[in-house]
Structure 1
């Protein structure tokens, strides 16, 4: 029995070796054939706009996958990266190999196009003439993935804002993907907010959705076409997921619709800076509220320009004049925008400190901004009506003016004291020399007796000044005293009050105006303090005027108390 088993195993091995030898012989006898055919084909012709078209190119030889360049298709089609496969067959002892490229094409517009021929090692495929017809308006495309795009309005004015929306519908497990960026010559397109995920029923079937919105502002008039959006992604292959726990992914793609847009020029009857919207409004607030002012004391005026469906950079500045008796110190306008209920709201806030320089009734002129109502298609105005303010006299100002009158009289008598009376006594040069010699001798004799007491007196005075300075720093700063000193043009008292304010509110080590300047930003208060600092070195010390310093100080303190940021004001004020 053992001998029989060994004989049977030996026969089996011999048969296997004979089969392998026969196979090798057949392979060696079959000649190696070079590539002889390159074919290109499409799965449908004609094709609807937005419908996927499969292009397949096959070569009867095994070659590298990067032998073909598909960039020649970019002018007329959107396409994904090709899927490359290779195969080999042996039939009746003859072997054959092939390389296949397959990719998805989406036509960018309707018409007749030519898919050009491709070439590999001298072999060329035949070109394909393709017809692209308009899409069915009632159709949605593939049941697995499709795109819909829309514009809020197909007719716009120059610089009018429109909303462009792209919505991706998919039925399956979408892993990742990318959406093309919309482009339109002569227009500014920006994404509005973040992508919104949701779900919708379409023809009785539930789809998951991803919505992306843009703002579109056309800068030129004419007729335009907004290119169709194109999406490419990866989705779980449902067929493979049924049998494999680690399901494979497949490449999916879809294309939306081409949208036509008409942009109209600015109407001839519009005068002023062009502004187009459905709603533009002007509002104002006063802090503290009311219509009563006090001469020399600042109040805050806040004017807010609000517009619907506009970007913040499109809002104009305000141009208006103020009557005599009112000074205004404006801040840099603040622009902001926000999305509310799917629409863009833009605001520009103008804040200024208003100071009445005289008492009585003061009339602020009306403010009007022309704008074009895109809803009613007519000229409109955003307006703040004329406003009458009552400025009451400042109780401290008459006293300050009265205190300033003696200083004015001193100024008028100063030139009189400059003339000296004529002395009848004759003084000779020899008398002068003798007097100088006598004074020198007297100084040398008396100097030791007076130097030491003088040093002691100087030390006592320095200590007294230091104590006085410390005492002054303890005193509480009074804005009323600063105001009285400025209105009286008293530079010495104004300096003392400013130093007290600086020591208590900025830095206790500030002892001079030059030190205060290093802590102030570039503003009107800094420039007025510089004038006060240089005032003692002027040829006429009494020429300094303090009202400008106090107004600058009041504005600086007022702006320091304003909040840094403010919330967006309501579109429809109460």
Structure 2
């Protein structure tokens, strides 16, 4: 009995100890599983990396994590951080399910040197820090490490650059033949105290470098820096996604890419102290003039058109100088609005300014049209030069249509005296005959006036139906040169109606003409209205100049004027 009790106690103690060991094992197992619940690792796809080229930072976890769980702000001090993409995979093997989540981020080193990618912590799990060496492109070439599929190179059009001088900044993106760009964006360079403007369109070409074929995309920028001294051009950067063909496959998976060109350091030269005049720096400046009509003598009151064209290379049109001309007082000048254009020729960019002047000489004799000189600095020869137009002297003669006025002041008096003497000596019969003939003469005058007025209306209607602006213009031009206000007013109305036949009843305010032309037309109409006595003092040269300008460049009717025309056509 005693042995049975002792045996039972020993079995109980053994069972208790076994349970304790089992419980401890379970706790250890659970603890180890809890510690192995989340594990994360960090790695890069290349080391060392080339300055200005991107590389991939990959964070892998054995459970599902989100990109928002990862804070990448610690990388911004030394790297350009691109977008982060997330990829999750699940696998079932030997009755077990495993989950893998990968966070992929593209990075680019800003400067050469040794850097450390710090440790990252996500939900209590921590990665190991990674040391990264950033080397220059030259060093990579010497080590045979610079076999990149995408490269970005930049250059400037000239080495010596002056303040205010426009130069060309060219950036070229090289894409290897076995690489396909899925999407991308090319940022523009930036400067301090300057202007950057893209010019032209991107040019696509191909080039073979070291036996490899590359597709190229070239883009140009016009840069002007307004401060002399040391300056830096922050380079362009390409951000996009590419896929590279692998052996046996056409193209692989899409990979994010960031690549940056080299930073350029420039020394901007100041304006030379001995330079005189308004500062203009270029390698080509040209002044050209044209006269219409081109002849050595002109009639008084005849319009002369002088057109001056200024062409400058590698200067923005906003930086072109003003053309200041001192005109003689023996002529009236009517300038047109300056016209500015840009164009390219054989890889050189030009800006152009065109000025036209209508010159109306008002005095007979010699008329000297002044010379024009523009100073500029030739950045190739490092010397100041001048673009000039010589003075031109023409002869002004009397108008062929001018008629001398005879002095007939005493003639009416003599006729009156003669008539009076005859009247006193004539008999009564001759007096009655004189009255009869005078009455018949008055009747004839009234009849002629009525018939002439009717014929004139018929003539005006025929002119309006059959004439053209080119047919009416010589008559109107002659009337204006002769200072014939009434004839000019009648022909002006017909000519304006033929110029814009789409307007039913043309009024001056509804016609697309300049304010100066409108005012000169109104002055003519006010002179010929009613019994105005200013008709004999009216001069047609100013209106002729305005109409020549209007005729040479017939304005397009605006939208608001078209609505007014439709209202007139459909009352």
The TM-score, its normalising length taken from structure 1, stands at 0.71
Of residues 207, 210, 213 in structure 1, which corresponds to 2:214?
207
SS at match of 1:323: coil
Alignment of structure 1 residues 40-439 onto 2, 5 Å: 40-42=42-44, 47-70=49-72, 73-74=75-76, 76-86=78-88, 97-111=99-113, 115=117, 117-123=119-125, 125=127, 130=132, 132-136=134-138, 139=141, 141-171=146-176, 172-176=178-182, 177-239=184-246, 242-243=248-249, 248-397=253-402, 399=403, 402=405
1:492 is paired with a residue whose SS is helix
**Alpha-carbon distance between aligned partners in 1 of 2:139 and 2:305, rounded to the nearest angstrom:** 58
What whole-Å deviation, never above 9, does each CA across 1:302-327 have from its counterpart, x for those lacking one?
Answer: 11111111222221221011112222
Distance in 2 (CA, whole Å) between partners of 1:498 and 1:44 is: 83
Change (3 A) 1:319 1:137: farther
Q: Identify the residue that residue 495 of structure 1 maps to in structure 2.
A: 489
Alpha-carbon distance in structure 1 between the residues aligned to 2:523 and 2:408: 23
Shift of 1:188: 2.0
Deviations 1:224-282 (A, max 9, x none): 3223333244444422x725x78654444433222222223333333433211111111
CA distance in 1, matches of 2:319, 2:223: 13
Query: Which residue number in structure 2 is paired with residue 528 of structure 1?
Result: 520
- What whole-Å deviation, never above 9, does each CA across 1:347-367 have from its counterpart, x for those lacking one? 111122222222222112211
CA–CA distance in structure 1, aligned partners of residues 477 and 131 of structure 2 = 89
Change (3 A) 1:183 1:96: same
Which residue of 1 is the match for residue 424 of structure 2?
Answer: none
Query: How many Å separate the matches in 1 of 2:230 and 2:518?
Result: 56
CA, structure 1 residues 564+263, in 2 after alignment: closer, same or farther (shift >3 Å)?
farther
Q: CA deviation at 1:461?
A: 9.7
Larger displacement relative to structure 2 (522-531 or 464-473)? 464-473
Q: Secondary structure at the match of 1:525?
A: helix
Alignment root-mean-square deviation, CA: 4.1
Q: 1:149 to 1:509 in 2, by over 3 A?
A: closer
- The Cα offsets for residues 496-533 of structure 1, whole Å up to 9 and x where unpaired, read as 3433434554459999xx94554362343321221233
CA distance in 1, matches of 2:504, 2:83: 72
- Which one is further off, 333-342 or 474-483? 474-483
Alignment of 1:532-551 (within 5 A): 532-535=524-527, 541-542=533-534, 545-547=537-539, 549-551=540-542
**Alpha-carbon shift at residue 154 of structure 1 (Å):** 4.2
Match of 1:469 in 2: 457
Correspondent of 2:548 among 535, 557, 571: 557
**Secondary structure of 2:459 counterpart:** helix
Q: Would you say the 8 A contact 2:116–2:129 is kept in 1?
A: yes
Q: Deviations over 1:398-428 (max 9, x none)?
A: x1x638x889xx9xxxxxxxxxxxxxxxxxx
Distance 1:461 1:28 in 2: 128
Q: How big is each residue's C-alpha offset from its partner over 1:345-401, in whole Å with a ceiling of 9 and x where there is no partner?
A: 22111122222222222112211111111112222211111222222221113x1x6
How many angstroms apart in 1 are the aligned matches of 2:157 and 2:294? 41
Contact 1:295/1:358 (CA < 8 Å) preserved in 2?
A: yes
Deviations 1:150-193 (A, max 9, x none): 12234422221111112222222424332222222323222222
* Residue ranges of structure 1 left out of the alignment (5+ in a row): 1-26, 411-457, 566-574
Deviation string 1:91-129 (CA, Å, 9 cap, x unpaired) is 999876553323332223335656455442355556656
Indicate conservation of the 8 Å contact 2:188/2:235, yes or no: no
Structure 2 vs 1, CA of residues 535 and 124 (structure 1 numbering), >3 Å: closer, same or farther? farther
For 1:272-303, what per-residue CA distance to the aligned partner results, in whole angstroms no more than 9, with x for missing partners? 33211111111111122233322211132111
Aligned mates of 2:74, 2:286 — CA distance in 1: 53
Q: Distance in 2 between matches of 1:508 and 1:170?
A: 58
Distance of 1:461 and 1:508 partners within structure 2: 34
Matched-pair contact (CA < 8 Å) for 1:109–1:258? no
Q: What SS does structure 1 have at the residue aligned with 2:329?
A: coil
Q: Distance in 2 between matches of 1:255 and 1:488?
A: 73
Write the distance in 2 (CA, Å) between the matches of 1:368 and 1:185: 34
Q: Is the 8 A contact 2:245 2:251 kept in 1?
A: no
| Aligned 8 A contact 2:334 2:545 in 1 | no
Distance 1:41 1:247 in 2: 21
Look up the SS of the partner of 1:402 in the other structure.
coil
Equivalent residues of 2:344, 2:350 under 8 A apart: yes
Aligned-partner Cα distance in 1 for 2:195–2:37: 51
Change (3 A) 1:62 1:490: closer
* Count, aligned residues: 482
Shift of residue 42, structure 1, vs aligned partner: 3.9
Further displaced range: 92-101 or 325-334:
92-101
Q: Which runs of 5+ in 2 are unaligned?
A: 1-28, 413-445, 557-571
Is the alpha carbon distance of 1:523 and 1:43 closer, same or farther for their aligned partners in structure 2, counting shifts above 3 Å?
A: same
